[in-house]
């Protein structure tokens, strides 16, 4: 079974193919790490796979059905999205922001089980002390952690995240990704995560999809997708690989100049 499938997606902006024939799938119980340099098309692909982008061609299947034919409410029961940027000017409490994640299941107002679930998620993510603070009054990293809590409150079989650790310190980066990996193991959730940190991507993903100029350059286990050749061709840097306590280490170096200067 596949939770999310993209078939031959093509998106052109300003005569530029931002997505150029991309096919990708995410199944239950796996984390797919989407990596690639700035402007590669990661956010565009993420939004396309959520049915939020007009496409020149291609189609996206969510839970086996064309996403265009699935209502917003049903989509929200199937997939939760953590966007790259948290909206400003959103003066609700942390608790209410997470409760919004329960909207696809609620009638006019939240039930006791919705409230209990949000309380539980906030506690598990060490956010209970912020529950009644306004979202607008939080730091960037705190807000990013709340957006993850909101997505988890949605209790979907699929979670799509666009750079969910970009504002987090190293402790919270590890904590958040470990928490997501636990969701995969315990609940069989499928995850698509766009992320810049190649070592973290390698450590937590079952599969890596490497995007460059709108095309998938490599896809597979990180040892296959992230090689000196693919990193050189996409990021324009050299890389050395290692392992520390079982965790991959990927160190970038400036490429040596050919022929000197
Ligand atoms: N509205 C737009 N009009 C024209 N070009 C756009 C528009 N939105 C995005 N692009 C271009 O599409 C390309 C892909 O952008 P996208 O945001 O998907 O990249 P990304 O891989 O997520 O980058 P980053 O790592 O910097 O977040 C970029 O070259 C960007 O400039």
* pLDDT tens figures, 106-138: 777 888 898 999 999 999 999 999 999 999 999
Integer Cα distance of 28 and 253 in angstroms: 36
- 59-63, 98-102, 155-159: least confident range: 98-102
Ligand 1 nearest-atom number relative to CA 196: 25
* pLDDT tens figures, 31-59: 999 999 999 999 999 999 999 999 999 99
Q: What residue's CA is closest to ligand 1, atom 26?
A: 38
- Report the mean per-residue pLDDT for the chain: 94
Contacts of 28 by beta carbon, 8 Å cutoff, 6+ apart: 1, 3, 157, 188, 189, 190
Q: What residue's CA is closest to ligand 1, atom 31?
A: 39
CA gyration radius, the chain? 19
Centre of ligand 1 to C-alpha 86, Å, is: 17
Integer Cα distance of 59 and 52 in angstroms: 12
Average pLDDT over residues 240-257: 91
pLDDT band at 104 (very low <50, low <70, confident <90, very high): confident
Average pLDDT over residues 63-70: 95
Integer Cα distance of 194 and 192 in angstroms: 7
Is 50 exceeded by the pLDDT of residue 207?
yes
3-state DSSP assignment of residue 197 = coil
pLDDT band at 91 (very low <50, low <70, confident <90, very high): confident
Q: Do 34 and 209 meet the contact criterion of CB atoms below 8 Å apart?
A: yes
> Residue 242 has what pLDDT?
95
Is the pTM above the cut of 0.90? yes
The domains found in the chain, sorted by start residue, are 4-91+156-254 (3.40.50.300)
Centre of ligand 1 to C-alpha 110, Å, is: 37
Is 60 exceeded by the pLDDT of residue 209?
yes
Average pLDDT over residues 97-104: 89
């Amino acid at each position: 079974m596949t939770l999310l499938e993209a078939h031959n997606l093509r998106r052109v902006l300003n005569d530029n193919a931002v997505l150029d024939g991309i096919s990708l799938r995410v199944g239950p119980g796996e984390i797919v790490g989407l990596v690639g340099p700035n402007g590669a098309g990661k956010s565009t692909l993420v939004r396309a796979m959520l049915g939020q982008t007009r496409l020149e061609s291609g189609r996206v299947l969510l839970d086996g059905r064309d996403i265009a034919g699935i209502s917003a409410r049903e989509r929200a029961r199937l997939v939760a999205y953590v966007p790259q940027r948290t909206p400003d000017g959103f003066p609700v409490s942390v608790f209410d922001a997470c409760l919004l994640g329960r909207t696809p299941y609620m009638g006019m107002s939240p039930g006791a089980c919705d409230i209990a679930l949000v309380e539980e998620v906030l506690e598990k993510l060490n956010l209970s002390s912020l529950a009644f603070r306004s979202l607008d009054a939080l730091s960037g990293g705190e807000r990013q952690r709340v957006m993850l809590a909101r997505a988890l409150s949605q209790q979907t079989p699929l979670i799509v995240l666009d750079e969910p650790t970009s504002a987090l310190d190293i402790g919270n980066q590890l904590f958040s990704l470990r928490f997501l990996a636990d969701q995969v193991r315990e609940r069989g959730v499928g995850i698509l995560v766009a992320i810049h940190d190649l070592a973290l991507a390698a450590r937590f993903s079952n599969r890596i999809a490497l995007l460059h100029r709108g095309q998938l350059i490599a896809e597979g286990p990180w040892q296959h997708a992230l090689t000196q050749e693919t990193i050189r061709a996409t990021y324009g840097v050299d890389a050395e690989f290692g392992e520390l306590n079982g965790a991959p280490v990927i160190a970038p170096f400036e490429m040596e100049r050919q022929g000197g200067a």
